[in-house]
Amino acid sequence: MLSEQVKIVERKKIPSGATLLFGFPDVGLVGVIAAAHLVDELGLTEVAYVESELLPPLIILHEGLPHSSIRIFADHNLLLAVSEVPIPADVIYPVMNRLIDWGKEKSVKMMISLSGLPMQDRQDAKELKSFAAVSSPEALKMAEDKGVEVLTEGYMVGPQAIMLQRAANSGTPALTLLAQCFFNYPDPEAAAEVLKALSKVIGLEVDVAKLSEKGEEIRLRARDVMKRTQEEMGKMKKGQEYDIPMYVS
């Protein structure tokens, strides 16, 4: 199996029974921007990283030292898997499968991926809405009880699709939180919205003011990552999320 070629190297003690979050490059870079904000705002520390020859030969230099492009940050009750560069479409399955298996080994109580939902004429939107896609009837009830509208029909493409499918099979509750966003442009405002939805679901208090204050700067910095992400989204046919579903009951 390809996922056996994906190794998670633990650098520190991993909390058990935490909530596992995913913030990967996707539409509007909503997940990554939200994840980067969580790391800063909550002071999360790096506890593990992903190592695999399936990934491109790339490292991130930070303060002069090399880091994996996929890292896991944590505090005592939160695990956050973040990728700073888009995960190639052809290795999303093994990477997600390994991360999910690892999460189960750490007895995570819930998995939540943070992402976006592209909307037409986004720049004209006065306010953005968040939605949830869920893995089980229990997760559906939880999202509704917390006041997050549930997506009941449609397609999901990308890491969150794998997470929901695997969670549905294993019984671990999982949600994908999706804020309305730009498809092809970095969207810090949507990242703030998805974090508000996350706060509702898990009761996490996080100040999102900086995402608005530094929004334009974030958009400028995230430009190249967005461009690379566009290429991978094309390969995985991300636009299929726009398709009119033909649900076979």
Partner 1 sequence: MGEWKVALAKRKRTVFDMIDDYFEDMQKWAEHFGEIWTAETPSWNLRNCSIEPLREITVTPTEVLLTVDLPYTLKDSVKVKSIGASGLEVSAQMKKKVKLDDLGVKHCKGVLEKFHCHVRIPVQVDMGKMNVHYKKGILEIRLPRKH
Nearer to partner 1, 7 or 235 (CB): 235
Query: Given the rule CB under 8 A, which of 108-116, 132-140, 197-205, 212-220 is the region that contacts partner 1?
Result: 212-220
Comparison of 166 and 219: residue with beta carbon closer to partner 1: 219
83-122: which residues touch partner 1 (CB under 8 A)?
122
Binding of partner 1 by 224 (CB under 8 A)? yes
Q: Which one, 120 or 249, has the nearer CB to partner 1?
A: 120
Q: Indicate which single residue of 185, 204, 206, 210 sits in contact with partner 1 (rule: CB under 8 A).
A: 185
- Closest distance of CB 104 from partner 1, Å: 35
Nearest residue (CB) to partner 1, 12 versus 223? 223
Give yes or no for residue 216 binding partner 1 (CB under 8 A): yes
184 binds partner 1 (CB under 8 A): yes
Among 223, 239, 242, 245, binds partner 1 (CB under 8 A): 223
Contact 23, 84 (CB under 8 A): no
7 binds partner 1 (CB under 8 A): no
Distance CA 19, CA 74 (A): 10
The residue range among 152-160, 169-177, 215-223, 237-245 that interacts with partner 1, by the rule CB under 8 A, is 215-223
Considering the rule CB under 8 A, would residue 123 count as an interface residue with partner 1? yes
Q: What does the binding site for partner 1 look like in residue numbers (CB under 8 A)? A: 122-124, 182-186, 215-217, 219-221, 223-224, 226-228, 231
